Amino acid sequence: MSPPVIPAENAQPPATPPCEGAAPHGGLPVMAAPYVPAPPVGPQALMQPLGPGAPFVWLACGWRDLLAHPGIGLFYGSCFWLMAVALGAVFRNRPEYTLTLASGCLLLGPFLALGLYDVSRRREQGLKPELGASLTCWNRHVGSMGMLVLVLAGLELVWGRASLVVFAVFFNTGMPSTTGVLQAVINPANWEFVAVYLAVGGLFAVLVFATAVVSIPMILDRDADAISAAITSLQVVCSSPGVLLLWGTMIAALIAVALLPWGLGLVLVGPLLGHASWHAYRGTVGWQPAGADKKGAEEAGEKINVAGSA
C-alpha cells in the first residue's frame, strides 16, 4: 500500500475553470458563446405555389369523392340542410335568437366537415371510407377542435356585436324587425348603411375564412394544435391571396345558389365543398420531413397536386 500524500503547508488548491455565465469581478455574467436556438424538430409546413386554376381542381377532386360515396355525402348534406332550415325558421319568427342559433351551427359545422375530410383522406390513402368512422374521427382531436371552434365562435360573436353597432348608428329608433331589416338592405336610399354593413361583415368573413380554410383538415391530418393550425391557415392565405380569394368567392357563390330553392341545394353543395376543402388543404400545404431539404419537400408537394388533379 502506498503511503498517504501529505500536502505542503503553502500549497495552493488547483484552479477551477470559470463557469459559463459566471460574473467576473462581480460584474454582469458573460456567456462563452451567443445562444443559438435548436432547429425545430419534426415536419415543417411549406406553402405550395398555386395557379389560378387550383380551386377548380379542388372542386373536381371533391366531386369525384362525392360520386364515389354518395350515401355518406347525402347524410352530411342533409345535416347542413337541416341547419339552414332551422336558421331560416328562427330568423323569420324570432330574429333575436338568430345569432344564438348561428353560434350553435358554427360549433357543430366544423365537426360535420371533419367527417367529410376523413372520407377524402381515407380515399387518398387507399382505405375504404365508412360513415361510422367519419362520425367519430374527431374524438382523437377534440382538444384542438374545441379550441379552434371557440376561437371561431368568439370571432362570430364579435362580428354580431359589430353588426349591432352598425344598426345602432344608422337606426336611432331601435332595432328594426325582420321585414325592416330586409327593407333597409334593399332600399337604395340606405346605401351608406349597406356599404358600411357589407364592409364590416366582409372584414370578419375574410378573417374567419383565413383562420379556418386549412386549419381543420390540418388538425385531422397532422393532429396539430389549434394555434399552429390557425397560423398555418393564415400563412396559406398570405402566400397566395389571389387564389384563396377566388376560392372563398367560389364557396360563397355556391352556398348562395344552394340556398335559393329552400336551401335544398345544400344537400349537394355542402358535401361537395367539404371534400373540396380537403383537397384545398392538400394542395396548399406541403410537409418537409425532419432533416429533408426544402427543394425535396416542394417536389413532393407538386407530386401530390398532380396526383390530386389526375
Q: What is the pLDDT of residues 235-291, one digit of tens each?
A: 999 999 999 999 999 998 998 899 887 888 999 999 999 999 999 999 999 887 655
User: Please, which pLDDT band fits residue 307 given cuts at 50, 70 and 90?
Assistant: very low
**How many CB atoms are located within 10 Å of the residue 287 CB?**
17
Q: How many residues does the chain have?
A: 310
List 310's β-bridge partners, or say none.
none
Looking at per-residue pLDDT, the higher value among 137 and 56 belongs to 56
As a whole number, mean pLDDT of residues 192-209 equals 84
How far, in Å, CA of 100 to CA of 87, rounded?
10
**How many CB atoms are located within 10 Å of the residue 13 CB?**
6
User: Coil, strand or helix: which one is 176?
Assistant: coil
- Is the pLDDT confidence value at 203 over 80? yes
Residue 223 has phi, psi (to 5 degrees) of 55, 45
User: Please, which pLDDT band fits residue 144 given cuts at 50, 70 and 90?
Assistant: confident
User: Please, which pLDDT band fits residue 119 given cuts at 50, 70 and 90?
Assistant: very high
What are the cell numbers at 283? 394542395
Of 23-27, 79-83, 97-101, highest mean pLDDT:
79-83
Residue 136: the pLDDT is 86
Confirm if 275 and 119 have CB atoms less than 8 A apart: yes
How far, in Å, CA of 225 to CA of 250, rounded?
28
What are the cell numbers at 295? 427543394
Kindly report the average pLDDT of the chain as a whole number.
78
As a whole number, mean pLDDT of residues 216-240 equals 90
- Is the pLDDT confidence value at 308 over 50? no
Any idea which residue has 398555386 for its cell? Answer: 50
Cα 97–99–100 angle (5° rounding)?
A: 65
pTM score, whole prediction: 0.73
Residue 269: the pLDDT is 93
Positive or negative, the CA dihedral 147, 88, 59, 239 is negative
How far, in Å, CA of 201 to CA of 178, rounded?
18
How far, in Å, CA of 281 to CA of 273, rounded?
12
Buried (b) or exposed (e) across 210-234, using 16+ Cβ within 10 A? bbbbbbbbbbbbbebebeebbebbb
Which ranges of the chain does DSSP label H, i.e. alpha helix?
A: 54-68, 70-93, 98-124, 131-135, 142-170, 178-186, 191-212, 215-222, 226-239, 241-259, 266-284, 294-309
